[in-house]
A and B are shown apart, each in its own frame.
Chain A
Amino acid sequence: MFYREAGDFKTSYRDDSQTFPISFDRWRYYAVLIVAFGVIPFLINDYWANALLVPFLIYAIAAIGLNILTGYCGQVSLGTGGFMAVGAYACYKLMTAFPDVSILIHVLLAGGVTALVGVLFGLPSLRIKGFYLAVATLAAQFFLVWLFNKVPWFYNYSASGQISAPERTFLGHAVTGPATTASAKYLFCLAILVVLAWLARNLTRGTIGRKWMAIRDMDIAAEIIGVNPLTAKLSAFAVSSFFVGVSGALFFAVYLGAVEVGEAFGIQKSFLVLFMIIIGGLGSIFGSFAGAAFLVLLPVVLKVIGVDLLGWPTDIVAHIQLVIIGALIVMFLILEPHGLAQLWRVAKEKLRLWPFPY
């Protein structure tokens, strides 16, 4: 009964266009933030951080990034893994070349480098669309992974061909390296995610977001109202790649600590992030969170149920997981192409009228 717009009159266009127009939503959002920043860091342990929370935060950044490109601007990309690798390697090179500079700046610069690479690989999108563009970005994926394997300069000529993150501190706490505590990792990623999600929300509700969506929905009509397709598409590639690059840098430096490029940033990663936004909801920031949470949570839940409760062998549970994800993708594409976010929207619409729907 409290989920209502009635009586909540908006008196300015600013109020009317805010992210959470219903006051209950607004309070719930503040509550989530308070719990995330004020409660969870005190309860978190290594298992929760490494199995669930930190990967969720990092994948959420990547999913927002891909959602900007695919969900908002309509340009399908299968190069997410490759772009994450760019972020990771850029971060590694910066960390080792400039040890005194703050890790936060390195992570952001890694995003910047990835944005440039993204624009470069986005150039074909001016000529080709849909499946053909997907194949072009697939080429980017394989080329980038090959490049980081082949050129020793990228991994500082280390014998194993791996890169590993040296210890760096942020505000006096270690956030990379083996001495990092679970809560430091979590808070570092969370802070970056919250800021980036806020930026993404602002971009997508403003002029530039409308340009992206116009290109997505009908590029000819977009051009007739004055959208330059070149700048609109390339800006989407740049912003998207920035997000993906930051997530790659965090994935390497904060989460894994040491990576081998083909293993950590292979084609599976591209598909994983794509599945996240399909299941979560194309063209929705909330959907990026929902999809990331779902696909990070699913293997853990299945393992707890299958292995720990039912006592099945691990490999069978792993296979079941693949089947379930595949089935879900097909189901969402057929039944609800806008994903979990749309289910959530429908639920909210119903709730607004409940219990008198007519």
Chain B
Amino acid sequence: MNDMSTEGYTTADGRKIGGVLMEMKNITLRFGGVVAIKDISFDIREGEIRAIIGPNGAGKSSMLNVISGFYVPQEGEVWFRGYRRGPMRPYQVARLGIARTFQNIALFEGMSVLDNIMTGRLNHMKSGMLAQALWWGKAEREESENREQVEKIIDFLEIQNIRKTPVGRLPYGLKKRVELARALAAEPKLLLLDEPMAGMNVEEKEDMSRFILDVNDEFGTTIALIEHDMGVVMDLSDRVVVMDYGKKIGDGTPDEVRRNQDVIDAYLGVAHD
């Protein structure tokens, strides 16, 4: 990866990857005496699918939580779209254009699928409380316009038939898809997926992989994902960060990572003699 210029690069399958969208510089995150992330730096480029992998407890989810604003690192800098990001609340991060899904689904169970996805568009809806109370003018127009966007995503993810079903009644695989839809509805610059395929069977994984590739392809969304299924990660991602015990032990294309001795040791274990 050393030949990669600041202007971006071209992937093996011919997609153009742009400049740096997000850069993490020397991030260190501690919980009391426990060091969850230790001096990690990496970048995410525009249009890229970037994977973060590592054994259990490596600090992957903590990293995602740093990006989405749940945790504020003690040391290091987070740069997004050319600006340094100060400590922010998660809702402020969301307004910058970063959306995410959760490892254990975090949908609004009491609301319909449609309403859940509509919540993803909250940051695109600006009408005041009075206009909404009277359901008049801007509020009504905005509702229809945003509904149109949401319907596009519903079509895209093929969930038309469950539009009005309360989320609480849906099976697991569909909930995962609805959560992806909600994140997509925000039209994010950067989409974070925390184990999008956890607990799925092969068929559902194939579907989800297809959706992730399509999202990247059609909307040009930059995606950072955590995943345990190595086959999926190696097939989907353009570049991979490997973490172990809070440290970065590898970074590069899937092929490079696969050949990296540190990575092999971390996953297969190494004999101590």
| B132→A229 contact, CB < 8 A | no
Please tell me if B219 contacts chain A, counting CB pairs below 8 Å. Answer: no
CA distance A109 to B256 in the complex (A): 69
- Give a binary string over B65-83; 1 marks a CB under 8 Å from any A CB, 0 the rest: 0001000000000000000
6 other A-B residue contacts (CB within 8 Å) besides A13-B148, A229-B91: A13-B151, A17-B143, A207-B125, A214-B111, A222-B119, A225-B120
- Give a binary string over B234-263; 1 marks a CB under 8 Å from any A CB, 0 the rest: 000000000000000000000000000000
Tell which of A55-63, A93-101, A174-182, A198-206 binds the partner.
Answer: A198-206
Please tell me if A213 contacts chain B, counting CB pairs below 8 Å. Answer: yes
| B108→A221 contact, CB < 8 A | yes
Closest to A14 in B: B144
Please tell me if B229 contacts chain A, counting CB pairs below 8 Å. Answer: no
| A213→B111 contact, CB < 8 A | yes
Q: Interface size on B (CB < 8 Å)?
A: 39
Interface Cβ pair total, 8 Å cutoff: 105
Q: Interface size on A (CB < 8 Å)?
A: 31
Residues of B within 8 A of A229 (CB): 91
Please tell me if A11 contacts chain B, counting CB pairs below 8 Å. Answer: no
| B133→A225 contact, CB < 8 A | no
Residues of A within 8 A of B115 (CB): 210, 213
- Which secondary structure dominates where chain A touches chain B? helix
Residues of A within 8 A of B53 (CB): none
Known interface pairs A211-B122, A218-B107, A229-B91. Does A224 touch B100 (Cβ–Cβ under 8 Å)?
yes
Please tell me if B129 contacts chain A, counting CB pairs below 8 Å. Answer: yes
Q: Which of A7-40 contact B (CB under 8 A)?
A: 12-14, 16-17
Residues of B within 8 A of A120 (CB): none
Please tell me if B94 contacts chain A, counting CB pairs below 8 Å. Answer: yes
Q: Which of B127-145 contact A (CB under 8 A)?
A: 127, 129, 132-135, 139-140, 142-144
Residues of A within 8 A of B139 (CB): 202, 206-207
The 8 Å CB contact of A223, one of B91, B118, B125, is B91
Residues of A within 8 A of B109 (CB): 217-218
Please tell me if B9 contacts chain A, counting CB pairs below 8 Å. Answer: no
Please tell me if A283 contacts chain B, counting CB pairs below 8 Å. Answer: yes
CA distance A290 to B107 in the complex (A): 29
